[in-house]
Structure 1
Amino acid sequence: MSNSADPFDESTCPWSLADDVRLVRRVTEEAGRIALSYFARDIHTWDKSPNNPVSEADMAVDEFLRTTLMQNRTGYGWLSEETEDHSDRLRCGRLWIVDPIDGTRAFLAGGDDWGISVALVQDQKPVIAAFYAPVKNAFYFAETGRGATKNGLTIKVSDQNNLDAARMMGDPSAFKAKKLWPTPWPDSMHTEQANSIALRICQIADGQFDCCVTLRPKNDWDVAAADLIIAEAGGTLTTGTGKGLVFNRKRPLHDHIVASCPALVPSIMERVEPALAEWRHVAA
């Protein structure tokens, strides 16, 4: 369901998208440096909810992004994993959607599969996106209509069309659990996990992997930047029912995520759609 946000009037905005591009690049790189200053150190951590960790690093990056972006762009809205949500964002034509550290568990464990996610959403669609994985030295960036890059070089999704030979980003045990899938996944399909959902999607955008399926709900901040990056790289990102994602709704949540190069979408949906139907039946 759409919200009541007014269409954005660029003619009355003092900042162009080109201005916002420069700002997003600068603050995302600086946010990465701040995160690295806490990385692999003994820092304060706690659980926001059971099995949902957060740390002083998350909060420091969030504070930097919020302060810098909002002070430089008065009138823009704000939505972040680590900031209390306010309904006034629903009236904003332009909105920052941020995950200060996507993949906190990996960050705390000293892994490399985490990063900073920053998106500018206009009229409920991302128009500028950055995802920076500092330990991997991978800076992904996209602007609507201008393609996607990694460290300044153009990226595109793979042309894989055979699910048997596909490289799937996701929990290997989930795809091997045949009782969960009325139509099973090929045993020969390679599966590999990464803590950050945004990183998983970006690694499909640059062709390292071919697809990603998660039937666990994801929030706007998890996928807003990745949505534009994979789209500009020629891929697709939808819900498990094949619908495109709409951002800045009252409930900023997406029930499931399917990301893929285009040629694999039919084979993936042949497995996802009956699984969702079965799970809905069991739940009922």
Structure 2
Amino acid sequence: MHPALNIAIKAARRAGQIINRASNDLDLLTVTAKQPNDFVTEVDKKAEAVIIETLQEAYPGYGILAEESGTTAGRGDAEYQWIIDPLDGTTNFIHGMPQYAISIALAKGNSLEQAVIFDPNRNELFTASKGAGAFLNERRIRVSRRTKLQESLIGTGFPYRMFDHIDTYLAIFKEIAQKTAGQRRPGAASLDLAYVACGRYDGFWEFGLSPWDMAAGALLISEAGGLVGDMRGEANYLETGNLIAGTPKVFAPLLKLIEGHLPESVRG
């Protein structure tokens, strides 16, 4: 296992301990809104602090892009950059819904090199290193073998901050509902992507994501034999925030279906 991946796992597990302890006393949480329907708790901040402390202790020269604290060294300032979501699914967490995770990725320039997604509720640890495959609790994982969209289970996420394209979302959701085995919207994009990587979902789509929502999961899917792209099927999803993923056979028809509904403002 790559040394950087080992450190990321250590950081994720330390954050998971903080989150698990706090989950027993949700009524005591201080919750604030960064913007409408976008919440942060002291748990997010504590988890992020311990992740950054752990990573910087081992790799002091690496940059950090983290959801709560922002960028401590941009991609232009450091060859390597950690991309961190300390608690993906905060809204689920504060409501006691056990669907949230810690997501940590390491990028070298524009290349994703290492990935960790840790679900502290199920003690499920998803890991990947570029060129070395993807794993769930040390067991090799692959995307599903499904080849037909109509047999596929698709994950998604609906708008919760900005609703400029809600009609587009609903039109896409309606057609996918009619042409697949079903859709799911649990509310933690990093876990949704991990589920594509291990075959629980056959595809995923969402608009308006942040790099820390996508980075680790995108590498997991690629290393598990799946495809990841933006709304043009290209590799700019970390920049655009718009992402489609799936098995090799499901990706193309899912992309084609979604493209048919997109206004020019959300293409790419």
TM-score by length of 2: 0.88
Aligned to 2:96: 110
Q: How does 1:99-178 map to 2 (within 5 A)?
A: 99-170=85-156
Report the Cα distance in structure 1 between the residues aligned to 2:143 and 2:5, rounded to whole angstroms: 23
Q: After TM superposition, give the deviation of residue 245 of structure 1 in Å.
A: 3.9
Q: Deviations over 1:136-190 (max 9, x none)?
A: 2211000111110001111000111111111011259999989724993352531
> Would you say the 8 A contact 1:97–1:120 is kept in 2?
yes
1:24 pairs with 2:8: yes
- Paired residue type of 2:194: C
Give the counterpart of 1:193 among 163, 175, 185. 185
Aligned to 1:260: 246
> Would you say the 8 A contact 1:167–1:189 is kept in 2?
yes
Give the counterpart of 1:226 among 217, 228, 236. 217
- Farther off after superposition, 125-134 or 185-194: 185-194
The alignment yields a C-alpha RMSD, in angstroms, of 2.7
Q: After TM superposition, give the deviation of residue 282 of structure 1 in Å.
A: 11
Q: After TM superposition, give the deviation of residue 281 of structure 1 in Å.
A: 7.6
> Percent identity, aligned pairs only?
25
Q: Which structure 2 segments of 5+ residues have no match? A: 160-164
Q: Deviations over 1:21-68 (max 9, x none)?
A: 221121111211111111142211110111110001000001111122
Flag the structure with larger Rg: 1
Report the Cα distance in structure 1 between the residues aligned to 2:18 and 2:173, rounded to whole angstroms: 46
- Cα 1:156–1:87 change in 2 (3 A) is same
- Cα 1:72–1:178 change in 2 (3 A) is closer
Aligned to 2:162: none
Report the Cα distance in structure 1 between the residues aligned to 2:158 and 2:68, rounded to whole angstroms: 29
> Would you say the 8 A contact 1:125–1:246 is kept in 2?
no
Aligned to 2:79: 93
Report the Cα distance in structure 2 between the residues aligned to 1:143 and 1:82, rounded to whole angstroms: 25
Report the Cα distance in structure 1 between the residues aligned to 2:106 and 2:265, rounded to whole angstroms: 38
